[in-house]
Chain A
Amino acid sequence: MAFRDRLLATISAARPVLEEPGVLVVGSEVPNLLEPGAAATLVVSQDLDVGVPVSCHAAVKRHLAEMLVGFQPSPKEPSVWTPRSPDLLEVNFVGIDPSRDPADAYVLEDDQLPLLVFGALSLVKAGAEIALAGTRVRVPRPAGLMLEKLVTDRTGEKGDRDLLVALGLLMTAGPADLDEFDAAYATLRPELCHAVRSNLTVLSLLEPRTGMPDPRPRRAAVAAVLRRLEQLEGGAA
């Protein structure tokens, strides 16, 4: 079964949760879903990240029983729901707390659905609602998702691929998205601004990866973003 088909089947099977107001699909599958026809050409991990605002946690829990047809909670990592069929992907629940510092994280303890709440996801704002596999899926606005990808500490192969996901978002961002990105960047404290710019320099020097956007022809655009962000900070070092 093709990856795209598995992705769409997962969305369909997770419909009760995904259609709960406030819930967002986050993570590296978002650019895959935003491709024309949700073509899903980027090679990323085989899971679907479901962002649950902590204010929606109770409402999401009420729908979990409906998910048991397709998934079961992992005994070792209960925020991960593993598929009962190879035609589905894992569902990875993560917490969103807009009040949290982007560099922080905490565990929202719960017997049924504990969540690892990533502070960086506080930068993500709800964006377009798209219809996929008979399901209304809410995705983040590009600016916040780009910033979340760039502010997060990245290491190893996954880290490089996450940066290339950010590049893919950057390449499809319109002027209004970039203005929003700049405005959100300007709210970050200096250490996090530095982290964003540091990740952009890493992105600028990455080698191509299979199934991901080639960063080499985009290096001038990345350099332009770096210069713009430095100007926002008055020539930050």
Chain B
Amino acid sequence: MTPSLERRVAELRARMLVRSWEYRQRHHARGVWFRLRRVLADASAAFVIPPDEAAKLVAEGYRVEPVGQALEPPKSIVFAPADRVARIASARAVPVRLGRELLEAEHLVLTPFEPTC
């Protein structure tokens, strides 16, 4: 009997149980964090924009990412090409990570990575 190793196995198995539970939650409320990270992973840059600019993007046909509506308070998150975002004078770049600036934003526009061959 090796108590320290047995304890580590028990801890590891406990973490696996939690991870399995999180996996089953992936389409429910708790899964929002994976879905948000997945959306952000496709973004080369992120910008905070005013509500009227977000509304214009939606009106132009840019799709609202559903994950933003699964947060509280909800956010609008839209992908748009970099040249379109460049025309939004008030757009403020924020780091693409789950930091305070991004999480506090009510309206975000993300630019996709350039397609590669």
Contact = CB atoms under 8 A, between A and B. Distances in A.
A107 B6 contact: yes
B87 interface: no
B96 A153 contact: no
A107 B98 contact: no
Interface stretch (B14-22, B48-56, B57-65, B74-82): B14-22
B6 A226 contact: no
Interface residues of B, number: 29
A205 B113 CA distance: 14
Contact of B38 (A103, A224, A226): A226
Contacts of A116: 5, 8-9
B98 A205 contact: yes
A219 interface: yes
Interface size class of A (residues with CB under 8 A): 35 or more
B13 A105 contact: yes
A223 B4 CA distance: 39
Interface string B59-94: 000000000000000000000000000000000000
Interface of A: 76-79, 103-107, 109, 114-116, 118, 153, 155, 191, 194-195, 197-198, 200-202, 204-207, 219-220, 222-224, 226, 237
Q: Lowest 5 CB-CB distances: which A-B pairs, in order? A: A201-B37, A204-B41, A114-B2, A205-B97, A220-B113
Given A219-B113, A220-B44, 10 more contacts: A79-B2, A109-B2, A153-B16, A194-B26, A201-B34, A201-B37, A204-B41, A205-B96, A219-B41, A219-B96
